[in-house]
Amino acid sequence: MNQNIKIAVLGGGGKTGKYLVDHLIEKGYSLKILLRNLPNSEDTSEQFLLYFANPLVEIVIGDAVNFEDIRVLLADCQVIISTIGQRPGEPMVASMATENILKAMKDYKIKRYILVAGINIDTPFDKKSEQTKAATNWMKNTFPAIHEDRVKAYDCLTKSDVDWTLVRLPIIEYTDQSFPVETSTEDCLGTKISTKDIALFLEAQISDKTYLRTAPFLYNI
């Protein structure tokens, strides 16, 4: 059991985040999950009811763009994991959430921050193939504001002194199945990644120091 480690989870109510939360609960971690709103009667699933009933889980109602909400979320935590995504039609969230998290981490002296992004983020270590470059350029051209916000978030990480890992993902398949995976800090050699494998990898990064302050690609092969 891992109850001596408390993890702050952002994006736990999202499609990818739900798989992560279920996995971390199964592994016995204590969690604090940020939700924007309490689920209403239409979207209250058995899964959310289990969250509220689980003694290992604390729900924090708030917004990642609100610093005080992030301070409440991170209190008493040792690790932050974020799968937060951009909300359609709303202000950019990635860079603001990261700035708030980094500020609160400094206040609480927390060192470990693990988060996800798309393959479109560029780093100085990349040797992207033509296929990956094409996907990167498509994202830049199709969703320029989201891309720029994600780049800003990455820049915030590189200027910080925390032990961050930014996991870059291709197309996500929402499944409990696990498949062979590879990682690379240079290129994404696969086109898909399962939510089960994302959860497994993110959990491993809690203690694995291989990718501290780097942005590995994670993909199924």
pLDDT of residue 91: 87
Q: Give Cα separations from 105 to 59, 88, 217 (angstroms).
A: 19, 28, 25
Q: 152: domain CATH number? A: 3.40.50.720
**109 residue type, one letter:** K
Number of folded domains in the chain? 1
Q: What is the pTM of this model?
A: 0.93
90 in any annotated domain: yes
195 in any annotated domain: yes
pLDDT of residue 49: 65
Contact (Cβ atoms closer than 8 angstroms) between residue 117 and residue 143: no
113 in any annotated domain: yes
**117 residue type, one letter:** A
Which of the 8 DSSP states describes residue 214?
B
pLDDT of residue 54: 85
126 in any annotated domain: yes
95 in any annotated domain: yes
pLDDT of residue 87: 80
212 in any annotated domain: yes
pLDDT of residue 46: 61
Beta-carbon-side half-sphere exposure of residue 215 (alpha carbons within 13 Å): 25
**44 residue type, one letter:** T
List per-residue pLDDT tens for the chain, 221 residues long.
Answer: 676 899 999 999 889 999 999 999 999 999 999 998 665 545 555 666 667 778 899 999 999 999 999 999 999 999 999 999 888 888 899 999 999 999 999 999 999 999 999 999 999 999 999 999 999 999 999 999 999 999 999 999 999 999 999 999 999 999 999 999 999 999 999 999 999 999 999 999 999 999 999 999 999 99
pLDDT of residue 37: 67
Contact (Cβ atoms closer than 8 angstroms) between residue 167 and residue 116: yes
1 in any annotated domain: no
- pLDDT, tens digit, for every residue of 45-57? 566 666 777 889 9
141 in any annotated domain: yes
Domain of 17 in residue numbering reads as 6-220
pLDDT of residue 70: 98
Q: How far apart are CA 92 and CA 51, in angstroms?
A: 28
**Sheet strands (E) in the chain:** 6-10, 30-35, 57-61, 79-82, 112-118, 163-169, 171-173, 181-184, 192-194, 217-220
